[in-house]
Amino acid sequence: MTLRGRLTAAFLVVVLGPVLLGAFFVGTTMAAVDRGRSTERLGLAAATVRTSVDALCQQLRAAADAVALAADPAGRAVAARQVVSRGLAAGVVLADVTGQVRYATPGAPVQPWLDCSAAGPAPGPVRALGARVGLRDRAGADLGTVAAAQPVDPAFVARLAAVTGVAVTLFDDPTGADRVAHTTEAAGVRDAVLAAAGTVVGDRVTETADGRYVRRVGPAPGQPLPLVLSVPSEQPPGLYAALVGAVLLAALLAVLAAWRLARVTTRPLVELAGAVDRVAHGDLDTRVPVRSRDEIGRLASAFNRMTRETDSYVQALTSSRDQLRGHLAVLGDTLASTHDLQRILRLILHSAIAATGARAGAVLLVDGGGVLVGQCAEGLDGRWPGPEPDPPDASALRVPVGSGVVGAVAATGEARRGRAEASAPPTGEPRCETYVAVPFAAPGGPGGTARPGADPAGAEPALPAATLGVLALYDRLGADEFDDDDLVTLRTFAGHAAVAVDNVRVHEEAQRLSLTDPLTGLWNYRYLRESIRREVERASRFGRMLSVLALDLDRFKAINDTWGHAAGDAVLAEFARRVRGEIREVDLAFRQGGEEFVVLLPETDARGATIVAERLGAAVRDAPVTLDNPDGVAITVTVSVGIAVYPDHATTGQRVLDAADEALYAAKAAGRDTWRLAEPRPWPSAREIPVLAASVTPADGLPRAGAPVAPAEGDPARSDPRVARAAPGGASSGPHPPRQSRGR
């Protein structure tokens, strides 16, 4: 392919590439946004359906309970008619213990009724939804059942569609999509929706050929009706046709412009191409006539200068090419492929020694106490400071900043070279005759600026603002002292060392930030999911309890609306600080999102968790948050807490979190600024649980999973389980993840 063809192709790639990518991005983004909105809408509709059906079932249970409370059959019949007349149920049926109907209100829906508590598919067509309660006399003897029902008809389905805002279809048989009982779908899309519903598994959302999104809801516990929900796509019609037209028009214009540009550009390059060809065959005396002062003319002038100067550098480049290529290739590959700081620094030191001809060298980094500590060293046998034998590693090199040669280089940020003075006092540096030392700093950091807070009187030497360490070489081979070229070369390797150190630190910081919330400093939701799984596994393995607190700041939206989001952020940060102050080192606090927080309390039962919840509520309630503004506004904040305990309330991490959330909703419903304990999960019957012949209290006194806690009166270790968990061995029964300190 000619140069003109390549320029044309390159221009087309440069122009059409972004156009194609942009068109693809727009199309995929519109489709993804449309699907996301429709999925969210169907999710909300599904939740509304479950809530509506659950509310109807609760109403029917209440109606059946009201009838069952009557003392005699005549009273129950009267109560049944009253329930129907008040609209609480469409029909009430009283049956004896054999199941025979003893009384039924007139106009009751056709049986059989689908029970609200059913967890599986209905055995036949769904005509009514019912709730059944037991009927007993005063002595507790079983007299039969009372059932109340509401019809499931087109009006019922239409009400569900009106409440949810989506199309609703009810199946007679949930195992087949061809038996429709009632639907609000339009006739034109009904077949496509029902065909797509037959392919839906679980709560997944599928899309029909005509652009509608379909989702199944039920049957499931608490919502036994087999329903299908659908919404139309919101994507504008003709979008892809418009995108294709725009791409074709852009392609046509790009081809014309590329052909013209390539033709104009390549014409004056023919002479330059011929000259380059002659130079490629070794004729360095070739010159190109300069016919203009534009870019091509400047290129010709530059070519002529290049050919004049190239000959003078050929010999020097030939002699050093292989050596430099090897060092740089190894160094570049190492910097790009590893975060092993010691390996990188050793390679940099070895390359610097080989490039300068030094006999020995060392790399030292500044630690937090203002001391240069050796990281790696080479060739220091017999040169280590002090009379002791050679130490096992480079960390024995410790030079205070400002002391000796390398200390002065680190303090001033200026490179040094020269000859060592035999009468100089010992400073902890290697013994040598000549030296060269270069500081290295974080890439982009200011150099030569004193560190804020440094004492000018000399209590602590001032460091350049971004100084990381010093690269030092000793005793050059074949020469008395290191020269300026060695100093320039060493600066290059020091720059590589700075990049390596900075990359490792950035990598470590990125790992930390990926697990923490930037506003509050608490662990984030990603680490919460990992931690709850790990803590539940540990609690299960060692037979311990794990308490979960779900916390939500009350009326936090009002704070943002009244004082602004900056005030809300300040409240969240202060709340996180107080939470850290009220929990132990082994406890974990997370920001789940917004004003929602989660605290994990390992080896803590329900009583200990309630004590922590009360402390957190008092810590927030008793001290208003003062804003850092001229007005000094003090905001009173309260918190609602939901408590769940593994395994009393759930057997998996996610279910414990869900139980804590449900308890949090209960605390909100109870008036806020309080805590609520989750409802205990049902336990198996006594005949299913093997009972040991004798039970012994564990020696450590810690609560065991599934064992009720009965604290003895006056026993602090039992009345407050958190005191018992502080006993030796209580917090170290298994390997814990890194804990955050109270000062974070």
404 shares its domain with 539 = no
503 shares its domain with 564 = no
Lowest mean pLDDT among 422-431, 517-526, 596-605: 422-431
Query: Within a domain: residue 740?
Result: no
How many Cα atoms within 13 Å fall on the side-chain side of residue 628?
7
472 shares its domain with 572 = no
Query: Within a domain: residue 730?
Result: no
Q: How many CB atoms lie within 10 A of CB 143?
A: 17
DSSP state of 736: P
> Which pLDDT value is given to residue 390?
65
pLDDT at 638 over 90: yes
Strand 128-136 and strand 114-115: pairing?
A: parallel
Query: Within a domain: residue 329?
Result: no
CATH number at residue 435: 3.30.450.40
Query: Within a domain: residue 536?
Result: yes
> Which pLDDT value is given to residue 331?
66
Domain boundary among 252, 269, 301: 252
Q: What is the mean pLDDT of residues 365-389?
A: 81
Distance CA 684, CA 704 (A): 18
550 shares its domain with 476 = no
Q: What percent of the chain has pLDDT over 70?
A: 80
The H-or-E segment that residue 260 falls in is helix 239-266
What is the Cα 254 distance to its own chain's centre?
A: 43
Distance CA 341, CA 508 (A): 12
> Which pLDDT value is given to residue 742?
28
594 shares its domain with 676 = yes
Distance CA 283, CA 310 (A): 11
> Which pLDDT value is given to residue 131?
85
Please work out, in degrees rounded to the nearest 5, the angle formed at the alpha carbon of residue 369 by the alpha carbons of 368 and 371. Answer: 105
560 shares its domain with 468 = no
Query: Which structural domain, as residue segments, surrounds residue 118?
Result: 29-252
Strand order in the sheet with 212-217: 180-183, 167-171, 227-232, 212-217, 205-207
Residues 705-718 as b/e (b if ≥16 CB within 10 A, e otherwise) read beeebeeeeeeebb
> Which pLDDT value is given to residue 205?
82
Distance CA 59, CA 625 (A): 44
Q: By C-alpha distance, which of 495, 400, 485 is closest to 436?
A: 485
Query: Within a domain: residue 646?
Result: yes
Token pair listed for 622: 């008793």
pLDDT at 117 over 90: no
Query: Within a domain: residue 652?
Result: yes
Q: What is the pLDDT of residues 232-262, one digit of tens each?
A: 877 776 767 777 888 888 888 888 887 777 7
> Which pLDDT value is given to residue 237?
67
| Counted domains in the chain | 3
How many Cα atoms within 13 Å fall on the side-chain side of residue 501?
26
Domain boundary among 231, 252, 273: 252
Lowest mean pLDDT among 389-403, 411-425, 699-713: 699-713
Query: Within a domain: residue 12?
Result: no
490 shares its domain with 609 = no
Q: What is the mean pLDDT of residues 488-513?
A: 81
> Which pLDDT value is given to residue 379?
86
Most confident of 41-45, 244-248, 691-695: 41-45
> Which pLDDT value is given to residue 741?
31
- Spatial contact of 238 and 219, defined as CB atoms under 8 Å apart: no
pLDDT at 735 over 60: no
569 shares its domain with 668 = yes
> Which pLDDT value is given to residue 341?
79
Residue 155 backbone phi and psi in degrees, to 5: -65, -40
407 shares its domain with 532 = no
Sign of CA dihedral 257, 263, 269, 273: positive
Q: What is the pLDDT of residues 125-163, one digit of tens each?
A: 778 888 888 888 777 788 888 888 888 888 888 888 888
How many Cα atoms within 13 Å fall on the side-chain side of residue 31?
11
Residue 469 backbone phi and psi in degrees, to 5: 180, -165
Lowest mean pLDDT among 72-86, 95-109, 202-216, 722-736: 722-736
Q: What is the pLDDT of residues 441-463, one digit of tens each?
A: 877 654 333 333 334 444 445 45
The mean pLDDT value of the chain amounts to: 78
490 shares its domain with 589 = no
Residues 353-362 as b/e (b if ≥16 CB within 10 A, e otherwise) read bebbebbbbb
Query: Within a domain: residue 122?
Result: yes
pLDDT at 616 over 80: yes
231 shares its domain with 202 = yes
> Which pLDDT value is given to residue 170?
82
Residue corresponding to tokens 């609306």: 561
420 shares its domain with 546 = no
Domain boundary among 223, 252, 281: 252
Q: How many CB atoms lie within 10 A of CB 161?
A: 20
Q: What is the pLDDT of residues 696-729, one digit of tens each?
A: 334 444 444 443 433 333 333 333 433 333 332 3
Distance CA 590, CA 520 (A): 9
> Which pLDDT value is given to residue 552?
96
pTM (2 decimals)?
Answer: 0.37
Label residue 655 exposed, middle or buried (CB < 10 Å: 0-12, 13-18, 19+).
Answer: middle
Q: Which residue has the higher pLDDT, 624 or 208?
A: 624
Strand order in the sheet with 467-476: 398-400, 371-378, 358-366, 467-476, 434-441, 416-419
> Which pLDDT value is given to residue 14?
80
Q: What is the pLDDT of residues 646-686, one digit of tens each?
A: 999 999 999 999 999 999 999 999 999 999 999 887 655 44
Q: How many CB atoms lie within 10 A of CB 306?
A: 11
Q: What is the mean pLDDT of residues 513-542?
A: 92
> Which pLDDT value is given to residue 732?
31
Continuous H helices in 106-238: 154-164, 187-197
Collapsing DSSP to helix, strand or coil, 86 comes out as coil
Sign of CA dihedral 589, 592, 595, 599: negative
